[in-house]
Amino acid sequence: LDYVKKQGFDPTEYADSAKELLALQAGQADVLVQDLPVVLTWLKKPDIAAKFELIGSLDTGEQYGLGLKKNADPVLLKTINEEITKAKQDGTYEKIYVKWFGKKPGELG
C-alpha cells in the first residue's frame, strides 16, 4: 500500500485478499497490487485465470522471511538457519521456489 501511495496513487485498501479479489471480479477495481504468492494461487483457478492475468511484478524492495518471537529458542533458530543454508546448497530451495513461483530466485523482477 505504501509503495503504491509513493507512486502518486490513492489506492483502496481491502480488509483481506479475498475481499480484494471479489472487488476485482465485481469490477470495483481495475488493478490489484498484491503479494505474488497470493496472485499465483488465484491464477491456478481456471475461472480466475480465464478473466485475469498477472501484468507485472513491482520491485518494492520487500522480501519474505521467517519470524520467530524475540529471544526464541536459540537451538530452533540455529536449526532453521542451518536448514535454509543446506536447502540453498543442495538445490532444494530452488526447487521449492520454482514450484510456488514458476521461476527461479531472481527471475521474477
pLDDT at 100: 82
The dihedral sign for the CA sequence 15, 16, 20, 22: negative
Rounded Cα gap, residues 30 and 94, in angstroms: 33
Residues 6 or more apart in contact with residue 80 via CB below 8 angstroms = 66, 68
54: which 3 cell numbers?
A: 498477472
pTM (global) more than 0.75: no
Sequence-distant (≥ 6) Cβ neighbours of residue 59 within 8 angstroms: 109
Structure confidence at residue 108 (pLDDT): 67
Q: What is the pLDDT along the chain (109 residues), one digit of tens a residue?
A: 788 889 899 899 999 999 999 999 999 999 999 988 899 889 999 999 999 999 988 878 777 788 899 999 999 999 999 999 999 999 999 999 898 888 888 776 5
**pLDDT for the residue numbered 78:** 94
Report the alpha-carbon distance of residue 42 to residue 48 in Å, rounded: 7
- Nearest CA to 2 out of 43, 82, 75, 58 is that of 58
pLDDT score at 109: 56
